[in-house]
Amino acid sequence: MTAKRVLVAGGAGYIGSHAAKALALAGRIPIVFDDLSAGHEHAVKWGPLVRGDIRDADALRAAIREHRPDAVMHFAARIEVGEGEREPVDFYENNVGGALNLMKVMLEEGVNTLVFSSTCAIYGDPERLPLTEDLPKRPVSVYGRTKAMVEQMLEDVSRARGLNFAALRYFNAAGADMDGEIGEEHDPESHLIPNAIKASVGRGGPMKLFGLDYPTKDGSCVRDYIHVSDLADAHIRAADRLMEAPGNVQVNLGTGDGYTVLEVLKAVETATGRPVPYDLAPRRPGDAVALLADPSKARALLGWTPQHGIDDIVSSAWNFHRRVWGMGNEPALQRAK
């Protein structure tokens, strides 16, 4: 059994729009539910857009009644870690309240398959690497705590009410659609690769590099970058698995390979052919030295293997931005599959 019709909450955003495209390419029907608070109408191209807020039970119920999804993918959240510290009420209301409302309406309407966007931020500063799913959840930010809370709620609701869920703990989502149709357009943008690309082409001045005094090979933080289309693929696999074998899945989604910030800047310089100017800033509180996934559980449970490495990640992001900025329309990159 496969999830044919999928409600994609937050499907006008970065990762959700890539999931909607992947669903359509796999012959499924993505129904995007998004309030466009951070997403873009132009990123919804592969199915209907229902404009609504996940905190609005009536709007969700109406969308589910009209479109009868087999499953829900839940991407809708406030995501900027620094904003979470300044606006915790908003973050708890959106991320925790919104998810609770979504679960409630799903159960009322008999939709019991949910794929949830979780994050490696639920682990906080890890006691060992690579990160395996059994490590304790000790988030160090409001954002991370909202995600850990939703995972807890999912476990409780699942146990009592038979909701089947997958909590997919992404590491650093990055890159863009290999066809260059959609990409990362956050505002404000806090992610490394788009900011490095912008700095490299002189948009908005030098980027900020937070700390060069970490105990790593070049002093900058190590992260595990995972291509957004690999994340999209994992969502479809997870939804299908839950339809086939009801239950719960909690897995890390990363490659297991770590890159320092300076290594990523090098890759951006190679792609754009220009240097990436940066200003050195102090470490940000809560930034771990290194975060690396052990992706073996996702491989075993979902048959998922990332298809794109750092070069695809950087070149697809560059390809997308160059098109958006009218800097030349490059042909689509080679699809890995």
Q: Which of 6, 8, 16, 139 binds ligand NAD (CB under 6 A)?
A: 16
The stretch among 50-58, 159-167, 198-206, 293-301 that binds ligand NAD (CB under 6 A) is 50-58
Q: Which of 6, 14, 180, 199 binds ligand NAD (CB under 6 A)?
A: 14
Residue 295 binding ligand NAD, by CB under 6 A: no
Beta-carbon contacts of residue 296 (< 8 Å; ≥ 6 apart): none
Quote the least distance from Cβ 214 to ligand NAD, whole Å.
20
CA distance 46 to 25: 9
Q: Please indicate whether residue 143 is annotated as part of the active site.
A: yes
Residue 13 binding ligand NAD, by CB under 6 A: yes
- Please choose, from the candidates 281, 287, 264, the residue with its C-alpha nearest in 3D space to the C-alpha of residue 120: 287
CB nearer ligand NAD, residue 91 or residue 278: 91
Residue 30's DSSP bridge partners are: 6
- Please choose, from the candidates 172, 275, 283, 270, the residue with its C-alpha nearest in 3D space to the C-alpha of residue 219: 283
CB nearer ligand NAD, residue 1 or residue 84: 84
Give Cα 211 distance to the centre of its chain.
24
- Residues 64-83, interacting with ligand NAD (CB under 6 A): 75-77, 79
Q: Which of 3, 20, 35, 308 binds ligand NAD (CB under 6 A)?
A: 35
Tell me the CA distances in angstroms from 134 to 250, 293, 302, one per residue in order. 10, 12, 18
Beta-carbon contacts of residue 267 (< 8 Å; ≥ 6 apart): 259, 310, 311, 314
Instruction: Enumerate binding residues for ligand NAD (CB under 6 A).
Output: 10, 12-16, 34-39, 53-55, 75-77, 79, 94, 98, 117, 119, 170, 172-173, 186
